[in-house]
A and B are shown apart, each in its own frame.
Chain A
Amino acid sequence: SQTIHQWPATLVQPVGSPLSLECTVEGTSNPNLYWYRQAAGRGLQLLFYSVGIGQISSEVPQNLSASRPQDRQFILSSKKLLLSDSGFYLCALETGSSYQPQHFGDGTRLSIL
């Protein structure tokens, strides 16, 4: 079965510090991968998606970037965090030639001080 690993589960960072969040998946190959952010009491906002190694599409302009160095690894980064980057970051995957809904990892809760 497919598994999504996200770490760390919780992170507290000062404003202006760099960020690297990692998502790795198991049990599938060539998945589509997604990064979402969820603010408190809000729905999910799509940040980035990737359909293959080195292929990244950004949905909203922001202080963040994403990379996909390997088929089953998706990384979310920032050079300098802002207070507004606080939130719950979720990685999701989508696989199959016919549509199967996205499955989510358990997320990283990021607090910026």
Chain B
Amino acid sequence: QKEVEQDPGPLSVPEGAIVSLNCTYSNSAFQYFMWYRQYSRKGPELLMYTYSSGNKEDGRFTAQVDKSSKYISLFIRDSQPSDSATYLCAILSNAGGTSYGKLTFGQGTILTVHP
């Protein structure tokens, strides 16, 4: 079993739709939960991160973490064609007060928002 599993998609939605992207993880020691957006031929760009269960909102984006179910989600409201990209979940283990922590990535979900 992979440490982080991400729905691979691809996902195609009309402009204005609500998008739900999901990951599950197996290691309860995971501490920080990130979502990155990656445009074609570019490096991943950090969208949001959180360390606690619950919701965190930033504009049209909401990150949700359920540690009891080991499940994380990213919701995009009022999706735009500019949101078309690959979305990667990433989970950090053992931040532990040191500056090094290992990120484990999902395999990414390709999202297309068509006008």
| Chain A residues with a Cβ under 8 A of chain B | 4, 32, 41-44, 46, 49, 51, 90, 92, 94-97, 99, 101-107, 109
Contact = CB atoms under 8 A, between A and B. Distances in A.
B105 A97 contact: no
B92 A99 contact: yes
B34 interface: yes
Interface string B66-99: 0000000000000000000000101010010001
Interface of B: 4, 6, 32, 34, 36, 41-46, 49, 88, 90, 92, 95, 99-103, 105-108
A43 B106 contact: yes
Of residues B42, B43, B99, which shows the largest number of chain A Cβ atoms within 10 Å of its Cβ? B43
Main secondary structure of the interface of B (DSSP, over half): strand
A46 B100 contact: no
A34 to B, nearest CB: 8
Contact of A32 (B46, B100, B106): B100
B92 A44 contact: no
Given A41-B108, A99-B95, A101-B34, A46 B44 contact: no
